[in-house]
Amino acid sequence: MRKRFLVLGLLSPVFSFSQSPLPASRSAQAFVEAGGYAASGGQTPFWLRANQYGIVPLKPAPGFVRGGVVIPYRTARKRQLDWGAGADVVANARPGLIGAAPTILIPELYVKARLGLLEIYAGRRREIVGLTDSTLSSGSYAWSGNALPIPKIQLALREYAPIPLTNGILSVRGSFSHGWFPTGGFINNSFLHQSSLYGRVGKKTWPVRFYAGFNHQAQWGGQTDRLPSSIVENGGKLPSSFKDYIDVVLGSSLGYRSNVDPTRYSEFDRTNRIGNHLGSVDVAIDFQVSQLSVFAYRQSVYEDGSLYYFTNLTDGLHGLRIRNQQPSRQGIALTDVVLEYLNTLSQGGNIFIPGSALRGRDNYFNHQQYADGWSYRGQTIGTPFIPPANTTRYPQGVDRFTNNNRVQGYHVGLSGQIGSVVTFQTRLSYSRNYGTYSSPIDPDARQFSGGIWVGAPLSVRHGLNLTASVAIDKGNLYPESVGGSLSIRKTWFHDRDHLKGRFVTVDSISTPRPKPLPVKLAVIPVAKPVSQPAVSKPVTKPAPIVQATAKVPTPAGKAVPARSENSPLRARDFPVINPKTSQPKPGQPKPGQPKVAPRR
């Protein structure tokens, strides 16, 4: 991607992101999980590894072990000032290398603090950016949860903040962050800038609400000795001063300036912008129809100037989520249905003329300076429908990162329950892939990828849960493969307010019933469950996969609803419920039972 883009409305950039929160409780959570993968084609099927935050390897790992802990905010106490933290470590066995050291990954390691609606965090944390369904979506365009999280420092509005004098009808949320890309790539030690700003029209309690906003990602700075002087000056050091940072944040173009130093800025920089910029401009609506919740969204993409000139308006992610808020307790019941269509064919057309409206060939996720493209440790940061070249059957082509960014993708996501305990989720995708403008695939490669995940508790009392999955790749883009996974997870809880350091498991539970999988609208951290789409929320839970828990009776006989995650089901996604009541004393009736008069 060339750097000729326009950041629309970067007036006060505030990044928004999405992370999937824990159930609203005071309990910290610790877990240990073990399992493995298998595949027939030597490559893990697409939907077993896509949107898994980079922890599932391309070659199926015969075994893995992971463990983690999350300390959430004390949601039971409305504290203005509070803190939390999280850690998650994964060890994947290397296929075919008996006795070899496993690959160690750390998808989460962070600390956070809040003051009212403001939150700051440092480290790695699972996120999704953009207005989208984060449970069953094919992936948000700019930041989908497909790659390992990038370490950063972020300041954000945790929830929608009402704008004064609007009586709560207008509200905003957003965030602003600075991150670090790793060494060892084409460009070493480059930086990440993220910002976004989203607004909502309608109160939280209204049956209809409208959303709109944008997100902005930029990769900038760094050092390389692999580019000519026409692409990078200053001894291979890309612009990285504080003044350059301000230009990156504002998306300022150097092409309109006459006093640019040619010894610091290459011809490429002087005719474009500093860094690799991309993002989306989003709109959405959320409304209720009887017992159904409907959420429709559209993400319009930008990388160069095509969106400003309205020449790539057909490109974007279109989605519809329908949620059944009162699913049946018996048989097979659907809780969520997601339909999506992704189009990236236009890219402003096949013609690029500098200084004109014909600014096509945007070449999504590729870049002339940052040749590793929009990726982190070899994995796509944005939609997984634009894959790294080494995962496809086709040669790399002219560009270093992806050989296929002109895509039409159709996606269906379903989630539900079987009876009152077993939960399931499925993702089915069909795509037509046309390569890039510089390296077209002709005829187009057609690809079907599908996966299904089923999870159930082995022992609620002891916090043991089992998850199994099966997936398939059939078509011309990826090697044909059938694979699956199996894992077992044990979970403990720790009550920050009452247990004084003890981790416990559940001692008793009544007939459990999963709650409909909630959709979390990407873009800003939310520490408590929400019943409406939200722009980005922090994944404060140790696992990014769908979490389906049971309902546990409280002393009053009411049910505590469970939460769910935004990725396929796995054993770790059925956390044990932390009982907050003690057993009745001998001779006392249990909650809900009638009192019996004593004998005289």
The predicted-structure confidence for 473-482, as pLDDT tens digits, reads as follows: 999 999 999 9
d(CA 164, CA 170): 9
d(CA 277, CA 215): 11
Q: What's the CATH fold of domain 27-221+275-510+517-573?
A: Porin (2.40.160)
pLDDT for 249: 95
pLDDT for 561: 40
pLDDT for 356: 64
Q: Which segments in the chain show pLDDT lower than 50?
A: 1-25, 498-534, 536-585, 595-600
Yes or no: say if 63 and 93 are a contact pair by the CB < 8 Å rule: yes
pLDDT for 76: 52
Residues 6+ apart with CB under 8 A from 265: 233, 239, 254, 274
Let me know if 261 is exposed, middle or buried by CB neighbors in 10 A (0-12, 13-18, 19+). exposed
pLDDT for 217: 96
Residue 143 Cα to chain centre, angstroms: 6
Q: Which residues pair with 201 in a beta bridge?
A: 170, 210
Q: How much is the CA Rg of the chain, to the nearest whole Å?
A: 24
Strand ranges inside 436-593, DSSP E: 440-459, 464-475, 481-495, 503-504, 552-553, 559-560
Longest dimension (CA), the chain: 102
How far CA 536 is from CA of 27, 32, 134, 139, 367, in Å, comes to 23, 27, 9, 13, 27
pLDDT for 306: 72
The predicted-structure confidence for 409-419, as pLDDT tens digits, reads as follows: 999 999 999 98
Domain spans in the chain, listed from the N-terminal domain onward? 27-221+275-510+517-573
- Strands 422-435 vs 440-459: parallel, antiparallel or unpaired: antiparallel
pLDDT for 587: 52
The continuous run of DSSP H or E covering 46 comes out as helix 46-49
d(CA 128, CA 133): 10
Per-residue 3-state assignment (H helix, E strand, C coil) for 124-188:
ECCCEECCCCCCCCCCCCCECCCCCCCCEEEEEECCCEECCCCCCCEEEEEEEEEEECCCCCCCE
Per-residue 3-state assignment (H helix, E strand, C coil) for 210-271:
EEEEEEEEEEECCECCCCCCCCCCHHHECCCCHHHHHHHHHCCEHHHCCCCCCCCCCHHHHC
457: cis peptide before it, omega within 30°?
Answer: no
Closest among 248, 283, 319 to 13, alpha carbons compared:
248
Closest among 194, 520, 212, 544 to 376, alpha carbons compared:
194
pLDDT for 588: 52
pTM of the model: 0.79
Residue 496 φ then ψ, to 5°: -65, -25
